[in-house]
Each structure stands twice: as structure tokens, then as C-alpha cells.
Structure 1
Amino acid sequence: MLKLEKLSFAYGDLKVLWDVDLEVKQGEIVTVVGANGAGKSTILKNVSRLVKPGHGHITFQGHDLRKLASHEVVELGIVQVPEGRRIFPEMTVVENLRMGSFVKSTRKDRERNIERAFTLFPRLKERAKQLGGTMSGGEQQMLAIARGLMANPKLLLLDEPSLGLSPLLVKSIFEIIKEINRQGTTILLVEQNVYQSLRISTRAYVLETGRVVLSGTGAELLDNAHVKKAFLGM
């Protein structure tokens, strides 16, 4: 579905990705884990075309993403939920959700997708008319994910969805990610919460200083000695 081959990228003179190979197959949850500053979010920005293309190849269902603008990537079915939520604080929950279906082909499904969002996130239904900026961090994260789903993504990119949330909410968010995947959406997840993300992953990659140093199933990496020592304190 998505394939990165020898992807390298630099911000000016600062190189942050080095020959990254990564693949996401349809129906999977694939996670990229690593410490802050490892280059995880830069991978997603390259896929979404939020930065100028680096060296290497990025293909999605046969399309060369490096030749496309960011809105064309969305039209292909790739939607990113950014780090830090970035909801519209002066808009209500429903207005935020409606903004997620700006792609013409998704407008016919707008009301159905709003109902789907309310089923996945009952708390959003309770706060449908509340301004996004007045909600808690956890509620805003739910809204950000729900807004991403409004575009009917084939591939959902999630950038640090658990960042800044309480342990109870973190567990809830990861269970919802599993449910979204179960309903048919393929997911590429970037996370610092190594345990929770590997627990739900089909496959995963460990990124250190811009390089993939390990890959395998989520279960294999959870049992890996290096992962245990470097990320799980074991």
C-alpha cells in the first residue's frame, strides 16, 4: 500500500533521515517508535508532502507521492492527524468535524461520518455544540482523530496521539485506534509510548537518529532486548 525506499531528508544542513526503508500493507497497523528527535514525524511529513521531498522513493498504491501536492495526497486517501491536535479552537465540535470533509468526494458521506465519529467517541456527541478550545486535551485528541476520519482515509497517519494524555486516556485512545483499524482503515502510527503502540501493532520499526535499527512484529519488538533496555526500562 505504502512503500518508502531509501528515504533521506534534511532541514537545510541538518540531516534527519538516512536511507529509511518502510512498508505498510493494507489492513495493518504499522508503528514507528523512537525517542524524541529521532525523525519519526519527519517521515509522516514526507508522506503527506508537508515538506519538500527528500531523496529516495515514496509510493502509495502505485502513485509517486513525491510528484504530488499535499491536497492531492489527501485526495488519494492519505490523511494525517498532526501532533498537538491542531483543532480549530473557535469552532464547535460539529464544525471541526465538517472541516474534515473538505475533499469533494467525501462530502456526500459527511453526515454518516459525523454519526460514525459520535459512535467511536461518545464524549464528542455530548459536546457537539461546545467550542473545541474549551475541551480537555483528551477530548481534543479524540476530535482530531475523528476529524481525520471525516475524509474517508484509506491510510490514516497518526502523529503522537497519546502525547500529554493521562495514562487512562492513553489506554482508551489506543483501544479506539485498534477499533478504527478493525473497521477497515490502515494506520501508520508514530509514537513515543513504545509499550502501548507495539502492543497493538501488526508490525513496527525502531528509529534512532534518523535510521531504522530494528523492525519486526509488535510482539517481537516488545520482546527484543534492545527495545526493553532503551525504551521500556527493563
Structure 2
Amino acid sequence: MLRIEKLNFAYGDLKVLWDVDLEVRQGEIVTVVGANGAGKSTILKNVSRLVRASSGSLRFNDVDLLRMASHEVVGLGIVQVPEGRRIFPEMTVLENLRMGSFVKATRKDRERNVERAFTLFPRLKEREKQLGGTMSGGEQQMLAIARGLMGNPKLLLLDEPSLGLSPLLVKNIFEIIKEINRQGTTILLVEQNVYQSLHVSSRAYVLETGRVVLSGTGAELLANAHVKKAFLGM
């Protein structure tokens, strides 16, 4: 579905990604794990075309993403849920959700997707008329993911969905990620929470200072001595 080959990226003179190879197959949850500043989010920004690669190849279902603008990528069915939630604080929960179906092709499914969001996130149904900015961090993260689903994503890009959440909410968010995948959405996940993310992953990549240093199934990486020492404190 998504194939990244020899991806290089720099912010000015600062090189961030070095020859990154990564693949996401239909139906998978693929996770990129690594420390803060490793370049994980920059991979997603390149896929979404929010930034421009220095060199390399980005293809989605055999379409060359490098030739596309960000709004065209959304039209292909690639939807990113950004780090930090970035909901519309002065809009209600329902208004935020409806903003997620701004692409014309998704509008016909708007009400059905609202109901799906409320089924996945009953808390949002309870707060349907509440302003987004008045909700807790966990509720805002639920809203950000639900808004992303309003775009009927074929590939959902999740950037640090557990950031800043309590352990109980982190567990809940990962259960919801698994359920979204079970319902047919392919997911590329970027996370600092290595333990939880590898548990839900079909496959994963370990990124260190902009380079892929390990890859394998989630179970393989959880058992890897380097991963245990570097990320799990074992």
C-alpha cells in the first residue's frame, strides 16, 4: 500500500532522515518507534506532503506522492491525526467531527461516520455539544482520532496518540487503535510508547537519529535485546 525508499530529508542544513526504507501493507498496523527527535514525525509529514523530501521515493498504491500536494494526498485516502491533537477549540465536538469530512467525496458518509465515531468513543457522544477546548486531554485525543476517521481513510497516520495521557487512557487509546484496524483501516503509527505500540503492531521499525536500525514484527522487536535495553529499561 505505502512504500518508502531511500527517503532523505533536511530542515535547511540539519539532516533529519537518512535513506529511510519503510513499507505498509494493506490491513496492517505498522509502527515507527524511537526516542524524541529521532525523525519519526518527519516521516509522516513527508507522506502527508506537509514537507518536501530531499530525495527518495514515496508511493501509495503505485501513485507517486512526491508529485502531489497535501490536499491531493487526502483525496487518495491518506489522513493524518497530528501530534498535539490540534482540534478546533471554539467548535463543539460535533462541529469538529464534521470538519473532518471536508473532502467532497466523504460528505455523503458524514452522518454515518459521526455515528461510527460515537460508537467508538461513547464519551464524545456524551459531550456532543461541548466546546472542544473545554475537554480533557484524553477526550481531545479521542476527538482528534474520530475527526480523522471522518475522512474515510484508507491509510490513517497517527502521530504520538498517547502523548501526555494517563496510563489508563493510554491503554484505552491503543485498544481503540486495534478496533479501528479490525474494522478495516490500515494504520501507520508513530509512538514513543514502545511497549504498547509494539504490542498492537503487525510490524515495526526502530528509528535512531533518522536511520532505521531495526525492523520486524512487533513480537520480534519486543524480544530484541537492543530494544529492551534502549527503550524498555530491561
In the alignment, the residues of structure 1 paired with residue 53 and residue 218 of structure 2 have an alpha-carbon distance, to the nearest angstrom, of 29
State the identity as a percent.
Answer: 88
Give the secondary-structure state (helix, strand or coil) at the position aligned to 1:184. coil
Shift of 1:78: 0.1
Question: What do the CA deviations read for 1:143-193 (whole angstroms, capped 9, x no partner)?
Answer: 000000000000000000000000000000000000000000000000000
Q: Which residue number corresponds to residue 98 of structure 2?
A: 98
Shift of 1:52: 1.9
Residue 183 of structure 1 aligns with an amino acid whose one-letter code is Q
In the alignment, the residues of structure 1 paired with residue 150 and residue 134 of structure 2 have an alpha-carbon distance, to the nearest angstrom, of 22
In the alignment, the residues of structure 2 paired with residue 93 and residue 44 of structure 1 have an alpha-carbon distance, to the nearest angstrom, of 25
Q: Which residue number corresponds to residue 132 of structure 2?
A: 132
Q: Which residue number corresponds to residue 32 of structure 1?
A: 32
Q: Which residue number corresponds to residue 64 of structure 2?
A: 64
In the alignment, the residues of structure 2 paired with residue 17 and residue 61 of structure 1 have an alpha-carbon distance, to the nearest angstrom, of 23
* Structure 2 unaligned blocks of 5 or more: none
Q: Is 2:40 the counterpart of 1:11?
A: no
In the alignment, the residues of structure 1 paired with residue 175 and residue 223 of structure 2 have an alpha-carbon distance, to the nearest angstrom, of 21
Structure 2 contact 8–53 (Cα < 8 Å) conserved? no
Give the secondary-structure state (helix, strand or coil) at the position aligned to 2:6. strand
Residue 201 of structure 1 aligns with an amino acid whose one-letter code is S
Shift of 1:54: 2.5
In the alignment, the residues of structure 2 paired with residue 201 and residue 54 of structure 1 have an alpha-carbon distance, to the nearest angstrom, of 29
Q: Which residue number corresponds to residue 110 of structure 2?
A: 110
In the alignment, the residues of structure 1 paired with residue 113 and residue 33 of structure 2 have an alpha-carbon distance, to the nearest angstrom, of 30
Question: What do the CA deviations read for 1:174-215 (whole angstroms, capped 9, x no partner)?
Answer: 000000000000000000000000000000000000000000
Q: TM-score, normalised by structure 2?
A: 1.00
Shift of 1:89: 0.1
Q: Which residue number corresponds to residue 188 of structure 1?
A: 188
Q: Which residue number corresponds to residue 164 of structure 1?
A: 164
Moved over 2 A (4+): none
Aligned length: 234
In the alignment, the residues of structure 2 paired with residue 53 and residue 77 of structure 1 have an alpha-carbon distance, to the nearest angstrom, of 20
Residue 136 of structure 2 aligns with an amino acid whose one-letter code is S
RMSD between aligned alpha carbons?
A: 0.3
Q: Is 2:52 the counterpart of 1:52?
A: yes
Shift of 1:53: 2.8
Q: TM-score, normalised by structure 1?
A: 1.00
Give the secondary-structure state (helix, strand or coil) at the position aligned to 2:32. strand
In the alignment, the residues of structure 2 paired with residue 92 and residue 55 of structure 1 have an alpha-carbon distance, to the nearest angstrom, of 41
Structure 1 contact 46–54 (Cα < 8 Å) conserved? no
* Structure 1 unaligned blocks of 5 or more: none
